[in-house]
Amino acid sequence: MDKLKYVVLIVFFGLVGFQKSNFNSKSIEKTVVNDTVTWKQLGQVKFVKKQHKSYGMIDYPVISPEIKFRNNRKVIVSGFIVPIDNVNYAISKNVFASCFFCGKAGPETIAGLKFRAGKMKLRTDQYVTIVGVLKLNETDIDNWMYNIEDVVIVKGN
């Protein structure tokens, strides 16, 4: 348990150092632990086949209630940076060589990122911990299932 408290305090002080925080000293540990989202949690997705007007029958995600509860809320996620193009990035459960694009993982293992600071310069497979607002998508198949906005890197930059 002491290691957990140590990790929580490190993450908290990282948050304070990089952004204005809504945390108060009485609930530091509870807030950081409760706001952390794991890839295992994000992976609890079911898919249902539905007709799409342009693509025919495709799989639409049905996101777990546990994650739906976090929609539009601040979350903490750790993962690997995957460049999408010269400007946009995603965070992934896996390194680039094993990511969603290579067919070795599903769409639940990646989330699109929009940084608070705007344009960023990051390395492929850079392991980071981020804080941002989770935005869920179960309907627009041309967008990520998970998006995280107002992102600040709190560890790994």
Please write the tens of the pLDDT for every residue from 128-156.
Answer: 999 999 999 999 999 999 999 999 999 99
- Which tokens hold the place of 146? 């998970």
Based on the domain organization, do 23 and 72 belong to the same domain? no
Based on the domain organization, do 66 and 116 belong to the same domain? yes
Based on the domain organization, do 56 and 97 belong to the same domain? yes
Based on the domain organization, do 41 and 28 belong to the same domain? no
94 DSSP 8-state letter:
S
In terms of Cα–Cα distance, which of 148, 147, 136 is closest to 45? 136
For residue 20, what are the domain limits? 1-33
CATH number at residue 78: 2.40.50.870
Based on the domain organization, do 41 and 85 belong to the same domain? yes
Please write the tens of the pLDDT for every residue from 75-119.
Answer: 999 999 999 988 899 999 999 887 766 667 888 999 999 999 888
Taking the C-alpha atoms of residue 133 and residue 101, their distance in angstroms, rounded to an integer, is 24
Give Cα 122 distance to the centre of its chain: 16
In this prediction the pTM is 0.76
One DSSP character per residue, 95-147 reads -GGGSGGGTSS-GGGEEEEEETTSS----TT-EEEEEEEEEE-SS-TTS-SEE
